Amino acid sequence: MDKFNVCKFPTTSTTNSIEIKSFVLEKNKTVIEQDKKLDSNFLFLVTIGQGKFVFNNKQKIDAKYGDLIFAFENDSLHCENVQNLEYSYVAFRGPRANELFDRFRISDLNRKFSEFDYLIPFWKDCLFFSAQNNADLVAESLILYTFSKLVAQKTDQQPLVEEMTKLANLNFSNPEFSLKTLADNLNYNEKYLSHLFKQNVKTGFVDYLRSLRIKNAIFLLDTGLDSIKNVAILSGFSDPLYISSVFKKEIGLSPKQYINKNKLDKT
C-alpha cells in the first residue's frame, strides 16, 4: 500500500458556495494523534482501521471503517487508541456549510454517522483523479453528494427509535439498564441517542424509562404487592427511598399512601 498521504489544496473557490480548504487522505499516525485546533469544518470518512476521535479533550467518539464524522471550526481534535487508522477528509467553511449543518441538524451532539463504507471508492476516485484547478469543484460535489446520502439515512432513524423503545420496554426492570448501557449496546453516541429520542418521541429517554418503571410499580401495587422494597426491585429501582421520592413526584402520593388508598377504596 502507498505509504504517502494524498493532499489537494484548491486554488480557486466561488464566493457564493462552499469554500474548500483541503482534500486529504491521511495516513500519518503522528499527525493523526497530534492535537490540533481546527480553522475550518471537517468531514472525515474512516477508510481503514479504528480509533477514538477526541474533541476538545472531553468528547470521545468511537470511529471505525465506514464512519462519517464531522468536526467544526474552532474544535480541537486528536485521535487515540489508534489501530491502523486512516481517513480521508475535506476541510471546508462558509455560509453554505452552516446552512447544511442546520438543514441536517448536524452538531456536536450529532456528528457521527455509520455504515458509509460504500462511499470510500467514490471518495478515493475524487481525491486521486482531481487536479489542482478543479479540486474545489470535485470536493464540493463530494460534500454535497455525501450530504445527500445522509438524507437517505434519515429514513432509518425511526427503526432506531423503535429499537430504543423496544429495549427500554424489555429491560426497564433491570436497575443497571440506562441510556449509557443502551448506547453501548447499539454502538451509538449517548448524547446523539438522547437527542434523537427526544426529537422523535417528544420526551427524554431518561423520563421515558422512569415512566415505564413507575407504571410497572403502580401495576404491582394494584395487584396487591405491598412490599415497597420488592416493588422497587421488580420495577428497576435499586433504592426504595428513591422510588418513594419519584413515585410521589409523579403520582402525588408516596407508595405507602397509595397502598393505603387502595385498601380504603376496596372497603
pLDDT of residue 90: 95
Number of domains in the chain: 2
Residue 113's domain spans which residues?
A: 6-154
H-helix or E-strand spanning residue 208? helix 205-222
Q: Which residues pair with 7 in a beta bridge?
A: 24
Asked if residue 128 is part of any domain, the answer here is: yes
pLDDT digits (tens, 9 = 90+) for 90-143: 999 988 888 889 888 788 888 998 889 999 999 999 988 888 788 888 999 999
Compute the residue count for the chain: 267
pLDDT of residue 134: 87
Pair 128, 166 in one domain: no
Give the residue ranges of the chain where pLDDT is below 50. Answer: 1, 12-15
Question: What is the pTM assigned to this prediction?
Answer: 0.57
Pair 108, 95 in one domain: yes
pLDDT digits (tens, 9 = 90+) for 57-70: 999 999 999 999 99
Asked if residue 1 is part of any domain, the answer here is: no
Pair 74, 180 in one domain: no
To 5 degrees, how large is the angle CA 193–CA 151–CA 119?
95
The dihedral built from the CA positions of residue 39, 44, 49 and 50, taken in this order, carries a sign that is positive
Would you call 160 helix, strand, or coil by DSSP? Answer: helix
**Which three cell numbers mark 40?**
475550518
pLDDT of residue 14: 46
For the chain, the helix, strand and coil percentages under 3-state DSSP, each to the nearest 5: 50, 20, 30
The dihedral built from the CA positions of residue 165, 169, 173 and 174, taken in this order, carries a sign that is negative
Over the chain, what is the mean pLDDT?
Answer: 87
pLDDT of residue 148: 87
pLDDT of residue 48: 95
- Amino acid letter, residue 263: K
State the Cα–Cα distance between residues 225 and 222, nearest whole angstrom: 7
